[in-house]
Chains A and B, each alone.
Chain A
Amino acid sequence: MKTYPLTVVTPDGCRYDGPAVRLVCRTIGGDVAILAGHCDFCTALGMGEAHVVTPEGDIRSAACIGGLLTVLGGRVRLIATTWEWAEDIDTDRAKRSLQQAEARLKEPGLDAQTLQLASAQLRRALVRQSVAAARR
């Protein structure tokens, strides 16, 4: 299979730097898959599961939350706010975060900002849980 250079960077450091066969991730407009030879492309990322197929044929999945995906001259850069490989996800933390978000959403008289923050927290926790659960 043809490969292309892929770099995944987050504020906490580089998460992946090497050749890849396929990258699938969720953008603000839905899921996209990038294969070798893709035209120059740019989009913003949403929240969801992403996976990378390595030249060895392994499929590594990760929770990918927010950021930017660019393809320039065959080089793919994924600049994510959060990128956690399935094996690195702290499921207990995700569970706690989910409970916390649910509890906050149940409170009466939420203002718009709290509602937005709590629902974002809920979605992040759900993404993490589903990525970690899919691995098992």
Chain B
Amino acid sequence: MPASMKEIKLRIKSVQGTRQLTKAMELVASSKLRRASDRVEHSRPYFETLYQTLCDMAAADPTLQSPYLARQSGGSTCYIVIAGDRGLAGGYNANVFRAFAGDNPDGQICVLPIGRRAVEHFERQGIPIVSRAFAVAGELSVSDCFEISRMLCGLVAGGQIGAIRLVYTRFVSMLAQKAQVLPVLPFIPPAGKSAHPMLLYEPDSETVFNAVIPEYLAGIVYGALCESVSSELAARRTAMDSASRNASDMIDRLSLNYNRARQAAITRELTEIVAGADAGGV
């Protein structure tokens, strides 16, 4: 026996409500996404130039001595994990945590979670957390990234942290986002770089390198944050789009069932009338 007409009607109403919600979330995500992807576009030249220059510097002077160039013995590996503040974004958060779990460094680890989901996840897992101050990924600005960098560089210089790795989601396109792990420190320039041996450093290469590394770390965190925020919005938009589509399909199916039930009720009523008339012997 199919569900009663009233029940189906109620289901349709509730699915319509859900569709309205997912549609609204999709629209909010797409309007925010435009701004976020602009931010990614704007910030890219800065990091590319910065990275290029640091590579040149490290390649030009093989004798360069810096706590940021060699792994500190005894220090733990610090992961900066950037996830979202909320769910409902498909596999966005789960992919970030999977990328983190798939990376196996030697020795002890600690994490600096960014985003409420990341903080909750690592609290549950019982992994040592460096700071909980950056729980809201959506509200972090350039100056927050500089604060993160200052704090971490202090720990690296103090020997508590030996290496820094960054787990974030790269914004490949509106439809594709990839969670990945990026080694940040110690700074390893790619092999075979064309060096500029005649570069003049003021006051000297070591001072410049050590002054620039915190900027580089802040820059890379900010860049990864921009990419991650865009990826989260894109993932949410896709997830909400398919949820809205599923809701529409469900409403179609339920409407069909509703009409069938209505038709069946009419037919039954007619049969009853006809049967009643027959019995009356008219």
Contacts and interface: CB of A to CB of B under 8 A. Distances in A.
Contacts of B43: 11-13
A16 B274 CA distance: 88
A66 to B, nearest CB: 6
A10 B43 CA distance: 7
Given A11-B222, A27-B202, A41-B200, A79 B50 contact: yes
Given A12-B142, A40-B200, A68 B46 contact: no
A72 B56 contact: yes
A9 B202 CA distance: 21
Contacts of A27: 202
Which of under 10, 10 to 19, 20 to 34, or 35 or more describes the interface residues of B?
20 to 34
A115 to B, nearest CB: 13
A63 B131 CA distance: 32
Interface residues of A, number: 26
A14 interface: yes
A92 B42 CA distance: 26
A14 B42 CA distance: 7
B49 interface: yes
Contacts of A32: 202
B219 A11 contact: yes
Contacts of B57: 42
20 contacts: A7-B49, A9-B46, A11-B46, A11-B47, A14-B45, A29-B202, A40-B198, A40-B199, A41-B199, A41-B201, A42-B199, A42-B200, A42-B205, A43-B201, A67-B215, A68-B50, A68-B208, A68-B212, A72-B196, A79-B50
Interface of B: 42-43, 45-47, 49-50, 53, 56-57, 142, 146-147, 196, 198-203, 205, 207-208, 211-212, 215, 218-219, 222-223
